[in-house]
């Protein structure tokens, strides 16, 4: 073998060895620093509130996945078949966040379930979204992390640092807020830099009764093979039914990443090779419980390309579950045209009976 070729191979061998050592060290770092929440954790309650829910009075509940203010109508996302990891610049994110806050303000809800709320994440240009939203409205709020990683190394350019979660804001006094870990469908090493889904359970004392209103904010698995959604949904139902059995009033809401019954007929899947949600079935409901959703307006859109109302895939995956002692008055999806997020906000009015 020529001497020059030996030198080249030696250099290549050294480089490959260095890359391998770096990869091992980096995976080791992600493993050591992996976010490992407990099955149940108390969540800090911030803000000020002095109201309490009252039986037979209307309560307005809002659910809104804000897409960390970086998934507006001009955006796409690589996991949905698009090409981008993040879109625009910090100015764009701040503009979207302002529009999101304005929309929330106009809804004037008593309880708000928000999802994909970032706090100092690379993908949203280090904006303090939970702080901004929490400080914009009177009331209590709690922010439970479901995605925390010092550096997500994929794809290219990488996602980078992520601190994100689900947030419940209420004009009512939150007596207790708890983060409940959901089953994770991903194994090591993917799990080291992936989401750790959870429920955020907020409890409210009800005037004139020893029972509580239990409000469950959720954002179930998205990019799994379907088994994760099934396991998480089962755990959700176990918790909801246990709370109702204790005599409490139960409202769960958020982004299910599953279509509500019958909505696929209205918004059929156009390309099954791209992301498709799971499916919720009416017959799976326990007696007296309700799925509450509005299929007259889509709640979510696919991010394979910038938004086009004629060609973009639509879904109805945001909504609520209410227990038999909660009476539905009405529900409506605000058609924002996906201007600031890949989701539209959904508002439900109920009465505790």
CATH code of residue 293: 3.60.10.10
In this predicted structure, what is the pLDDT of residue 18? 61
Host domain of residue 14: 1-32
pLDDT in tens, 23-74: 666 567 667 778 999 999 999 999 999 999 999 999 999 999 999 999 999 9
5 and 98 in a single domain? The answer is no
262 and 150 in a single domain? The answer is yes
176 and 263 in a single domain? The answer is yes
201 and 275 in a single domain? The answer is yes
166 and 233 in a single domain? The answer is yes
72 and 185 in a single domain? The answer is yes
- Residues 155 and 84: their CA atoms lie apart, in Å, by 10
3-state secondary structure of 151: strand
205 and 330 in a single domain? The answer is yes
Cβ-contact 75, 328 below 8 angstroms = no
In this predicted structure, what is the pLDDT of residue 244? 98
pLDDT in tens, 246-278: 999 999 999 999 999 999 999 999 999 999 999
61 and 207 in a single domain? The answer is yes
For the chain, which ranges sit under pLDDT 50?
none
295 and 321 in a single domain? The answer is yes
In this predicted structure, what is the pLDDT of residue 32? 76
| Predicted model pTM | 0.94
Cβ-contact 101, 95 below 8 angstroms = no
308 and 264 in a single domain? The answer is yes
In this predicted structure, what is the pLDDT of residue 154? 86
268 backbone φψ class: left, alpha, beta (φ>0; ψ -120 to 50): beta
In this predicted structure, what is the pLDDT of residue 228? 93
197 and 159 in a single domain? The answer is yes
Number of domains forming the structure of the chain: 2
In this predicted structure, what is the pLDDT of residue 34? 87
Residue 216 pairs with which residues in a beta bridge?
201, 252
11 and 80 in a single domain? The answer is no
Residue 351 pairs with which residues in a beta bridge?
58, 327
E-assigned strands of the chain? Answer: 40-42, 46-48, 58-65, 111-118, 139-152, 160-170, 176-181, 198-205, 212-219, 249-255, 258-259, 278-279, 290-292, 300-301, 314-315, 318-322, 326-333, 346-352
3-state secondary structure of 62: strand
């Amino acid at each position: 073998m020529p001497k020059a070729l030996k030198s080249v191979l030696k250099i290549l061998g050294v480089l490959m060895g260095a890359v391998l050592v770096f990869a091992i060290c980096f995976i080791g770092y992600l493993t050591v620093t992996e976010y490992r929440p407990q099955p149940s954790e108390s969540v800090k309650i911030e803000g000020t509130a002095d109201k309490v829910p009252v039986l037979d009075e209307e309560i307005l509940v809002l659910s809104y996945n804000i897409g960390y203010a970086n998934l507006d109508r001009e955006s796409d996302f690589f996991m949905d078949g698009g090409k981008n990891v993040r879109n625009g610049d910090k100015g764009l994110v701040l503009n979207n966040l302002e529009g999101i806050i304005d929309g929330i303000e106009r809804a004037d809800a008593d309880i708000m379930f928000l999802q994909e709320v970032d706090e100092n994440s690379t993908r949203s240009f280090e904006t303090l979204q939970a702080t901004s939203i929490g400080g914009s409205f009177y009331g209590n709020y709690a922010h439970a992390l479901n995605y925390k990683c010092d550096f997500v190394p994929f794809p290219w350019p990488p996602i980078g640092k992520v601190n994100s979660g689900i947030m419940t804001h209420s004009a009512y006094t939150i007596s207790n807020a708890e983060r409940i870990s959901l089953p994770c469908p991903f194994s090591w090493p993917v799990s080291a830099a992936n989401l750790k889904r959870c429920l955020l359970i907020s409890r409210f004392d009800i005037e004139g009764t020893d029972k509580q209103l239990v409000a469950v904010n959720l954002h179930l698995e998205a990019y799994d093979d379907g088994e994760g959604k099934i396991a998480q949904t089962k755990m959700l139902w176990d918790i909801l039914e246990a709370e109702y059995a204790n005599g409490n009033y139960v409202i769960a809401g958020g982004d299910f990443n599953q279509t509500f019954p019958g909505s696929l007929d209205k918004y059929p899947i156009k390309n099954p090779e791209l992301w498709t949600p799971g499916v919720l079935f009416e017959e799976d409901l326990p007696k007296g419980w309700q799925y509450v959703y509005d299929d007259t307006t889509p709640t979510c859109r696919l991010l394979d390309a910038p938004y086009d109302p004629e060609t973009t895939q639509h879904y109805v995956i945001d909504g609520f579950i209410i227990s038999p002692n909660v009476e539905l008055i009405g529900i409506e999806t605000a058609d924002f045209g996906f201007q600031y997020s890949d989701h539209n906000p959904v508002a439900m009015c109920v009465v505790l009976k």
